[in-house]
Amino acid sequence: MIQSDLDLFGPQPQRLASHTVLLPGFALDVIEPLLDALRPVLRAAPFRHMQTPGGLNMAVALSNCGTLGWVSDARGYRYSPTDPLSGQPWPALPEVLLDLAGRAAGTAGFDAFVPDACLINHYLPGTRLSLHQDRDEKDFAQPIVSISLGLPAVFLFGGLQRAERTQRIALNHADVLVWGGEDRLRFHGVLPIKPGVHPRLGERRINLTLRKAG
Ligand code: MD3
Ligand code: FE
């Protein structure tokens, strides 16, 4: 490779489907403010393993911030204004996250996105997330913005039917993925995280999904 081939401005947005855009490294310039904002959120609402409606422990640990948070227990999956661990409202959505999500959505063609919920997923090496659809939100016309931090992941990008074939897409530290429109109800999942140590986050992957849930 010759010097002039190096793209000093980083990779460009990639359209993965008609209404799905991967923004590689989009969060890079706000990583430290973002981690600073997450610390107090996770002190007030620590990661925990929720129970599935079937009574199993979820492999992914999770927390939330925003006026609504995604919860799971024997009664099912739903959004709740309070943290079941503390009985208190979830911590507020930090400005840096709100701003990043709005800019990412706008870049992907979804204007005026104002999320009210941020699900924070925590993966250790070996943790996976099986194929599912996100359908607990009220309005499927609203997009979702996902921010990946730490160890890399391979996400499975499927179709509108579970049995459709899936594409494998790499999600790296600071990558932002936005999807909406006709892609909003695609099946998706995450392959087991490979062992490794991320220079900033250590032996973990954290994924933030910003949603308009209510
Ligand atoms: C949407 N989280 O929290 S986000 C979830 O990396 C969830 O923690 C995953 O699925 C995570 O509900 C994936 C990125 C993603 C990937 C593929 C998709 C979202 C997608 C395909 C279609 C729709
Ligand atoms: Fe999902």
Tokens 């070996």 -> residue: 126
Ligand 1, CB within 6 Å, residue ranges: 119, 121, 129, 134, 146, 153, 155, 157, 177, 179, 183, 186, 188, 190, 207, 209
- Check pLDDT > 90 for residue 73: yes
Please state, in angstroms and rounded to a whole number, the distance separating the CA atoms of residues 84 and 71.
8
Tell me what percent of the residues of the chain surpass a pLDDT of 90: 94
Residue-wise pLDDT tens digits, 176-213: 999 999 999 999 999 999 999 999 999 999 999 999 99
Neighbours of ion ligand 2 (CB under 5 A): 134
pLDDT beyond 60 at 2: no
Q: Which pair of structure tokens corresponds to residue 12?
A: 């460009």
Residue 79, pLDDT above cutoff 70: yes
pLDDT beyond 70 at 4 = no
pLDDT at 1 over 90: no
> What integer pLDDT is reported at residue 50 of this predicted model?
97
With beta carbons less than 8 A apart as the criterion, state whether 82 and 67 touch. Answer: no
What average pLDDT score do residues 48-76 get?
A: 97
Residue 10's pLDDT is 74
- Separation of alpha carbons 70 and 213, rounded Å: 9
**Residue 3 banded pLDDT, cuts 50, 70, 90:** low
Q: Is the pLDDT of residue 11 over 90?
A: no
Mean pLDDT of the chain: 96
- Domains detected in the chain: 13-211 (2.60.120.590)
**What percentage of the chain exceeds 70 in pLDDT?**
96
Going by alpha carbons, the residue nearest to atom 19 of ligand 1 is 188
pLDDT in tens, 121-149: 999 999 999 999 999 999 999 999 999 99
Name the β-bridge partners of 48.
62
Q: From the DSSP assignment, how many helices (H) and strands (E) are in the chain? A: 2, 13
Residue 213, both tokens? 């849930």
Would you state the pLDDT for residue 48?
98
- Judge residue 6's burial from the number of C-beta atoms within 10 Å of its C-beta, 0-12 exposed, 13-18 middle, 19 or more buried: exposed
Residue at 150: amino acid letter: G
- Residue 56 in contact with residue 3, Cβ under 8 Å? no
Q: Is the pLDDT of residue 5 over 80?
A: no
Do 193 and 134 form a contact (C-beta atoms < 8 A)? no
pLDDT at residue 144, as a whole number: 98
Closest-CA residue, ligand 1 atom 6, reads 207
Residue 93 CA to residue 148 CA, distance in Å, equals 17
